[in-house]
Amino acid sequence: MEMLSLTQEWDKTFAKSDKVDHEKVTFHNRYGITLAADLYRPKHAEGKLAALAVSGPFGAVKEQASGLYAQTMAERGFLTIAFDPSFTGESGGTPRYMASPDINTEDFQAAVDYLSTRSDVDPEKIGIIGICGWGGLALNTAALDTRVKATVASTMYDMARINAKGYFDSEDSEPARYEKRKALNAQRTADYKAGTYALGGGVVDPLPEDAPFFVKDYYDYYKTSRGYHARSLNSNGGWNIIGCMSFLNQPILQYSGEIRSAVLIMHGEKAHSCYMSKDAFAAMMQNNPCPENKELLLIPDAVHTDLYDGGGKDAIPFDKLESFFRTWLK
């Protein structure tokens, strides 16, 4: 495994809980990339526990929303890990700031590998939580990995849909996709000549006065003390311009209708991205062999980033998450 340099100080965007034990751990995926994670374990817990692997949002790090979810669920009795995806944060993999529908799905599966082999985890009681773009990847993982018994997709993005069709499907045409492919391939040539990869830029800063609401929503999280983190792509230089290129050509939710395990898709009803959860849920339910364990939860008055950290109004329904996982991880 790669040797990673892991920060030992508490550098999260949320306060440390005195109800859980915390440690840094590493594990590897089938491509040989070593992943870094924060592990949260309920204090004084005994025996084999139900476990959860958490990641997201897309372009965030484990010190942000995924860590908050993981720590809170550990307070409620689960052993949890929040991990940095390949090529990002404290995890390994080069070149940096690349994304892949295959490798990132594998990252979730590698987290399940790790949890399944811990002596304090019941391998029959493993669930996953994906936030934002990792919500879509969580569903993709659930369609592939039968060891996953329950999945939550929170404030979900389908990264393949966004890359291929644009926001609100505004670029859903062959000419638009051709121009995008042309620009990305020109960038590949430029990067190869330069011997380095150009960054696409994170969340825009300074914020234009005429920015759409969803851009302001991201700015309020990633660019302020609320959610800024030095290792977060979205808080800083962003992905490589070509970093998400393969999502343009590789849909990730082709077999969501064959997910037999339990799924909860939850989204703020006022989020710009809510249409993706609604559509993903409808597609998953078409001819699904196990429709009785699937649920779509729309949260009143919540916008996209409210489900990152509560948005100052406790928008994340942790009671619901606890009851969902206790029902299906048994």
244: left (phi over 0), alpha (psi -120 to 50) or beta: alpha
Taking residues 283-295, report their average pLDDT: 98
Nearest CA-CA partner of 163 in 252, 277, 54, 66: 252
Instruction: Say if CB 163 and CB 244 are below 8 A apart.
Output: yes
Query: Residue 328: what are its φ and ψ, rounded to 5°?
Result: -105, -15
What whole-number percentage of the chain has pLDDT above 70?
100
Taking residues 188-214, report their average pLDDT: 96
Indicate the domain borders of the chain: 20-158+201-238+252-328
Residues composing the chain: 330
Q: What is the pLDDT of residues 217-229, one digit of tens each?
A: 999 999 999 999 9
Q: Which residue has the tokens 């990995």?
A: 145
Is residue 182's pLDDT more than 80? yes
Instruction: Say if CB 255 and CB 280 are below 8 A apart.
Output: no
Angle, nearest 10°, between helix axes 274-285 and 133-144?
10
Is residue 181's pLDDT more than 80? yes
Distance, CA of 261 to CA of 127 (rounded, Å) = 10
Strand, coil or helix: 15: coil
Q: What is the pLDDT of residues 9-66, one digit of tens each?
A: 999 999 999 999 999 999 999 999 999 999 999 999 999 999 999 999 999 999 999 9
Q: What is the pLDDT of residues 120-155, one digit of tens each?
A: 999 999 999 999 999 999 999 999 999 999 999 999
Buried b (16+ CB within 10 A) or exposed e, 166-182: eeeeebeeeeebeebee
Is residue 2's pLDDT more than 90? no
Helix (H) or strand (E) holding 74: helix 65-75
Q: What are the structure tokens assigned to 69, written together?
A: 């979810």
Nearest CA-CA partner of 66 in 81, 77, 51, 55: 55
**With bands split at pLDDT 50, 70 and 90, how would you rate the model's confidence at 1?**
confident
Q: What is the pLDDT of residues 300-323, one digit of tens each?
A: 999 999 999 999 999 999 999 999
Q: What are the structure tokens assigned to 75, written together?
A: 């307070």
Taking residues 192-211, report their average pLDDT: 96
Q: What is the pLDDT of residue 42?
A: 98
Q: What is the pLDDT of residue 257?
A: 98
Q: Give the dihedral of Cα atoms 50, 82, 148, 79; nearest 10 deg.
A: -10
Nearest CA-CA partner of 72 in 45, 52, 47: 52
Is residue 280's pLDDT more than 80? yes
Q: What is the pLDDT of residue 244?
A: 98
What whole-number percentage of the chain has pLDDT above 90?
98
Is residue 115's pLDDT more than 80? yes
- Burial bucket for residue 206 (CB in 10 Å: 0-12, 13-18, 19+): exposed
Fold classified for 20-158+201-238+252-328: Rossmann fold (3.40.50)
What value does the mean pLDDT of the chain take?
97
